[in-house]
Structure 1
Amino acid sequence: MGKVTHKRNTDTSTVETSANASENAGIVISAFDESTTADHFALITHAVDRHRLRIFNVRSGTVSNDYSAQEKEKITCLSWGYLKDTGDLQANTVQAFKKKKSGIASLSKAIALGMQSGSIAMYSLSHGAIIKELTGSHTSSITDFVMTKDGSRGYSVAEDNLIVEWDIEEGKEIFKWKTDAKNVHKLKLSHDEKKLATAGHTITLWDLSTHSVVKKFTGHASAVKELAFSSQDDVLVSNAEDDRYVNVWDAQTTNTNSNNLTALTLETNVTHIDFSNNEPSVLAVTDDGLVGIWENASFTTTTTAATAGNRRKMMRSMTKEADANVKIISTAAEDTVIPILAAKFVSDNSGKSIMIARGSSVKPSFEVVKYVDEQGAIIHDVTLSRQPITNYLIDTSSIAATNLKTTRKAYDESAVTVVGNTDFVSKGPTMATYKDDDDEEEENVELSIEQKLQSLDVADTTQSKKKQNKKKTVDTPSAGSLQTVLVQALHSGDAALLEACLQHTKIDVINSTVRRLPTEYLIPLMMDLITKFQEKPSRAPVLLIWIKSVLLIHTAYLMTVPDLVGKLSNFYQALDTRLGVFPKLLALRGRLDIVQSQVNVKSYSNINDKQLKRAQLPENVYVELDSDDEADVEEDLSMDEDDEDMSSDEDMDQDISDSEESSEEDL
């Protein structure tokens, strides 16, 4: 049992697809189906304004179903199951018509989608649509949902701490009861469908016939993330958030043992677990993309009858390290690990194999991995060497890429002349040279155009300096020159030159530049803009102008890019995060407007009506008049001045006569 490195086998059913491990953050929920062959893989990712469900065919690696939720609707949980199909929706085939006529119902694979609004949507893979909806019992978002094997009943739990038993065929509620603790967000149905395990910070085992509590388990420091029953329903395993232990519990109802049988330990936190249907084997996927496998997880030595003398031995037996570790490394760099997204036990190789999904949310890759050797002994370290997968249209390690490198002419900048600011500086004044004056023929020779231009350099330089001293302005480069510089920056990967182009904020220049930009540079430009937008959100007002221009002008081309949604997934998340603050700011603005209006009303209530009218009158009134009106006004003003002069003279004469009369009376 040593370290075995498996090389690629071209005869296996491995499906290679393009993916990028850096985009794994865009995955909301992912899960294999419940079959022993794991034929389908469901993946929920972020779209522009909603969640998107894609179902991959594991054997072919293609998308078999694609569904987008309603606008602003979010999917909170996902579970696989089967529904009875009587041919009511699609009776266009002879078999479907016979099923509908005879009433015989077959089971078709389906996915139950728990929604944030409190409803449960049943998506059928054969119909490619939502065929049932369970509504009316929950008032908050659904946290988990499980269904029976025949698809007749289902159990749901929501944030309102209520467990609801559903009749899926009728779409009605059968029974509802309240959970025994708060924050219960995980369900697991036993294989015999008689017990239901609920988990929050504690795990509770319910008897479905009486809806009573059978057992309770405590031992996780944080909220339980996943549950899994063994094939005999005698063992239950669980893992919690930010925890590197997988606890194994005794799920038998014949005893009262509520302590964990053992703890399966890994080096990093566990994100996903699965219990084999054939044997007591457990696997766990860690957050760094590794898989640990325990061949007999429920076996423990002396956990029930331990004494003080062998307590140390008991503690060693309580924790078990993984019997096998699966890791995928890159062929380009051995120290680079390709992360595993999900894993599940499958029936290949007598049940000694697992199906893994690696890659990203764009298009993951699937592969069956055998963890035992030819003699049936378990391999401790299983290391797979695989090529690094990217989202590029052409893989750099492929034969086509190699041929393209050999046939394509390399970009050489040695023969490129780059024009700078110094090339436009006016030359210094030059003096024309003439021969001796004694030579009469040379004196009469007329100056050439070049000599005349050189003689005019002095005057042009003086005039340009005067203009620069009078007003210094920065000329915006034309759209054609900016487009050339932008292409050069994207082609050569010059970050400084690209930053110089992005400093321009005039919308006309940006639109003209983007319109003239070749299509092969659009995706690299968008990736650079999105990266800069995420690294420094304070530059959003400038960068969003460029991003908006690219999306509006080149919409027709961007719609033809197959993996554009995956490339823009991080950008969508950044926008959602920024927009999530706006409703709170708008509510605050409304409150401030109300307060400010009340302050204004109170201040104006202390002013009386006269002051208010006086305050409302304008201080100065400007009346614009035509030329004819101005002439009439001037005549009126001159006539008024004459009248005032005449009236003043008459007043003076009257005053003089009055004074004379008064003097005569005195005499």
Structure 2
Amino acid sequence: MAARVCATTAHAHASSATEMAADGGSFSVQLPCVFSPKSRQYLSVCAQDGRLRIWNTDSKTLQQEYVPSAHLSATCTCIAWGPCRTVKEGPRRKKRKSEAVQVEEKADLLAMGTAAGTVLIYSTAKGDLHCTLDGGHSGAVNCVDWHPEDSLLYSGSDDTSIVEWDLQTGKTRSKWKADRAAVTSLCVSPDGKLLLSAGQIIKMWDLDTKEVYRKFTGHSTAVTTLCFATTRPPDSNGLYFLSGAAHDRLLSVWQVREDGKDKNSVVSFTLSDEPRHIDLVASNSKEEAVRLVVVCKDGQLHLFEHFLNGPCKKPLSPSCTVQMSDTKESPMPIPLLAAALGPDPQSVLLAYGNHLQPVMERVEVNTAERHICLTRDVHTSLSLTMETTVSKVKTPLVNAKSRVLVPGLPGHQAPIKGPPQGSEKRKKDSDTKEISIAERLGEIDLSVVSSEKGAQKVTASLQTDNFAVLLVQGLESNDASLLNKIFQNRKETVIKKTIARLPLPAVIPLVEEITKRLQGHPYTAILMVRWLKAILVHHTSYLTSLPDLVTQLGVLYHMIESRVKMFHKLTKLQGKLHLLMTQVATNDSSNSISELDHTAKLVYEEESSDEDEASGDEGLPEEDSDHWEEEEEMEEDGEGNADEDKSDEEDGDPDSRTEPKANGEEDMEHENESEEE
């Protein structure tokens, strides 16, 4: 038993890694994957390449493919099938009365919420868009759900509001604020009277009045799953619903009580990881158990069966857990994408493998066993345009000069695995344009040449084809030496061309690698900034279409923001230092000039006034006001002054010649004043 549990946990970790690799790198985005209601005839999948594919579960083939125009649409974030209805399949011949009776309701309309805030309604009968609902949300649409009877659709968004759409007019019927945080999940009750919405608080709304009927709190993270488990009315204490949250390994069951005492969940189901896909058969009475199948983030499937008749203290473990692996010598897990319960309690419809080309299979599960591991031999080629897989899809016309490396996921291995016989058949049967593509694929397919010239030369010639292929190889294998060689390139043209040729799913892994290197040595940071600039120039439209861009680029943003703040401080410090240095330099120069002027001004002025008395006050500049008595004595002795003036004139100093005259005039004025007194 312990060994089985250890093996289960090992499979869980490995399958989560497999799922990440299958989703094109470290994607945390939940790719929508939903079976159609009732007959389960269709499986709708939105893969990494942005296309909506509808697979037929009976014939296991691709029924339809919707390719949104890249410049008009945004990333699909959620999908939901509408209720089955009678479909008018365009103008055809009039049917007879006997044929008209045999009209069955089919799943037709499919609602797709986008990261741009619009809701696209796709019709499988038309094979194209039925209508586009826009103008209701200012943020990304996180969840959509249909009203079971009326032609109404409900959508919840990042702008914290819920919009009720009228599909007959294509306009909003009503809009109201639902939560403080983003609305991440919605579910309409089977009778169409109540609506569950959740951000971090679960609210139950009365759809007639648009008022809150009940509130339920208990999740610490955003609620990603809501589902009604019973079809009973809320006033009979028999209405139950399920909720699952991000990063939470529990499914909580809530009871809507008549007395309003429904603060805590009554039952909880334990899971191996966060729930990604849920399908259940609701119970109509207390004697009927709820059957539940849950596909987790790690790729495992859990089956539950429980009678909802009040609270249960212990968490319930699954009655059966199903895992899948391949048939190789060292088996690798195959992630399960979605599951649907059949009418028989033991039959389950599974979708597993890759989102680009899932494998659908109906399996009989022996619920008596606690752990089941299904081994399957899965050979799926990622190129969906091979001859047998797609018949009804129009392949896009490719320019003859362009070079096709791979459709879908990053990496160039998919065309190499294609059988050479099929490519030869396509050359004979197809048009001239397709022949050129097939020839180019044949040039890339070097498996025949490898036996003659050796595998090493072939792989070397393939790897050195361009830097984009090498970069994808380095990101997938996490080869540090290969990445170092690529990132050391400083040519702007090479960097721009490499980033332009990079497949979209490799953009986020490349940004994460650049973020790691930016945090290292400053020399590497200088090189990384050029690559980051090229990514932002070429792939901004793709990055802005990602629903969880904030979490993907959060580390990079905070790092750049902290460095920018530090840059402002450094520039302020540099400015202050520059100001200080200029002040010091000007101060030094002004000091030297003032000393020269100081000596030049004072020497001769003192000699002219105080030579006879030989007073020690040579440093005083103002002689007129401080020495009245001395000047009077000098005026009485007129001959001595005359001799001094003569000697000064003989020296030839103009300053000493003019200043005593001025002093003599002032002295004469003072003497006249004293005589008048």
User: Does 2:373 match 1:383?
Assistant: yes
Q: Which residue of 2 aligns with 1:67?
A: 67
Aligned twin of 1:264 = 269
The corresponding residue for 2:473 is 528
Aligned-residue CA RMSD (Å): 4.8
TM score, norm. by length of structure 1: 0.55
Unaligned runs of 5+ in 2: 5-17, 98-102, 233-238, 284-288, 382-412, 423-446, 513-531, 541-556, 580-677
Q: What is the CA deviation profile of residues 287-341 of structure 1, one whole-angstrom value per residue up to 9, with x for unaligned ones?
A: 22111111116356xx3xxxxxxxxxx74xx311111111112221465322212
Q: Counterpart of 1:175 in 2: which secondary structure?
A: strand
> Is the 8 Å Cα contact of residues 162 and 178 (structure 2) preserved in structure 1?
yes
Q: Does the CA-based 8 Å contact 2:270-2:318 persist in structure 1?
A: yes
Are 2:360 and 1:366 aligned?
Answer: yes
Which has the larger displacement, 66-75 or 207-216? 66-75
Change (3 A) 1:371 1:73: same
Contact 1:355–1:366, Cα closer than 8 Å, also in 2:
yes
Instruction: Spell out the pairing of 1:26-65 with structure 2 (5 A cutoff).
Output: 28-47=30-49, 51-59=50-58, 60-65=60-65
| Amino acid across the alignment from 1:35 | P
- Aligned pairs (5 A) from 1:335-374: 336-347=332-343, 350-372=344-366
Identity, % of aligned positions: 22
Q: Quick check: 1:245 aligned with 2:254?
A: no
Q: Deviations over 1:194-248 (max 9, x none)?
A: 1100111121111212222222211222111111112425221111111111101
Distance in 1 (alpha carbons) for counterparts of 2:448 and 2:138: 61
What is the CA–CA distance in structure 2 between the aligned matches of 1:94 and 1:547, rounded to whole Å?
A: 59
Structure 1 residue 271 displacement after superposition: 2.8
Aligned counterpart for 1:286 among listed residues 293, 296, 308: 296
What is the SS of the residue equivalent to 2:290? Answer: coil
Q: 1:43 is matched by which residue type in structure 2?
A: V
Cα distance in 1 for partners of 2:478, 2:325 equals: 31
User: What are the superposed Cα offsets for residues 164-217 of structure 1, whole Å, 9 maximum, x if unpaired?
Assistant: 222111112222222144322211011111110011112111121222222221
Report what 1:142 is aligned to: 141
Q: 1 CA distance for matches of 2:117 and 2:359?
A: 33
Structure 2 equivalent of residue 570 of structure 1: 505
SS of 2:23 mapped into structure 1: helix
Is 1:160 matched with 2:159?
yes
Deviations 1:80-126 (A, max 9, x none): 11487785xx743125999xxxxx99765111112233221111111
CA contact (8 A) 2:199 2:223 kept: yes
| Aligned match of 2:630 | none
Matched letter for residue 65 of structure 1: E
Inter-partner Cα distance in structure 2 for 1:329 and 1:151: 43
Equivalent residue letter for 1:346: G
Structure 1: distance between partners of 2:36 and 2:90: 27
Structure 2 counterpart of 1:362, which letter?
L
Does the CA contact (< 8 Å) of 1:83 and 1:152 recur in 2? Answer: no
| 1:549 to partner: Cα distance | 7.9
Distance 1:268 1:107 in 2: 34
Unpaired runs of 5+ in structure 1? 5-18, 99-103, 304-313, 402-406, 417-483, 492-497, 503-512, 515-521, 556-564, 604-667
Query: SS of the residue aligned with 1:331?
Result: coil
Q: Structure 2 vs 1, CA of residues 576 and 411 (structure 1 numbering), >3 Å: closer, same or farther?
A: same
CA distance in 1: counterparts of 2:495 and 2:69, whole angstroms: 26
Encode CA deviations 1:545-586: one digit per residue, 9 max, x unaligned. Answer: 88998999xx9xxxxxxxxx9xx453254468756655799x
Q: Within 5 A, what are the aligned runs for 1:117-516?
A: 117-150=116-149, 152-233=151-232, 234-251=239-256, 253=258, 256-277=261-282, 279-296=289-306, 298=308, 303=311, 315=313, 318-333=314-329, 336-347=332-343, 350-372=344-366, 378-389=368-379, 391=381, 411=451, 486-487=457-458, 489=460
User: How far apart, CA to CA, are the structure 1 residues paired with 2:181 and 2:496?
Assistant: 45
Does structure 1 retain, via aligned residues, the 8 Å contact 2:352–2:359?
yes
- Structure 1 residues 277 and 132: alpha-carbon distance in aligned structure 2, compared to 1, 3 A threshold: same
* Structure 2 residue matching 1:319: 3-state secondary structure: coil
Deviation, 1:261, is 1.2
- Contact 1:490-1:525 at 8 Å conserved across structures: no
> Which residue identity lines up with residue 182 of structure 2 in the other structure?
N
Distance 2:474 2:272 in 1: 38
Rounded Cα–Cα distance in structure 2 between residues aligned with 1:83 and 1:69: 28
TM-score (norm 2): 0.54
The amino acid across from 1:327 in the alignment is Q
Taking the aligned partners of 2:228 and 2:36, their CA distance within structure 1 comes to 13
The answer to whether the 8 A contact 2:347-2:363 is kept is: yes
One-letter code aligned to 2:325: I
CA apart distance, 1:531 = 3.9
Aligned-partner Cα distance in 2 for 1:114–1:534: 37
Give secondary structure in 1 for the equivalent of 2:266.
Answer: strand
Residue 487 of structure 1 aligns to a residue whose secondary structure is helix
Q: Which runs of 4+ in 1 moved over 6 A?
A: 83-86, 104-107, 392-396, 407-410, 522-526, 543-552
Higher relative contact order (CA 8 A, sep 6+): 1
Q: Is the 8 A contact 1:107 1:150 kept in 2?
A: no
Say if 1:21 and 1:359, in contact at 8 Å, map to a contact too: no
Q: 1:551 to 1:126 in 2, by over 3 A?
A: farther
In 1, Cα distance between equivalents of 2:267 and 2:416: 46
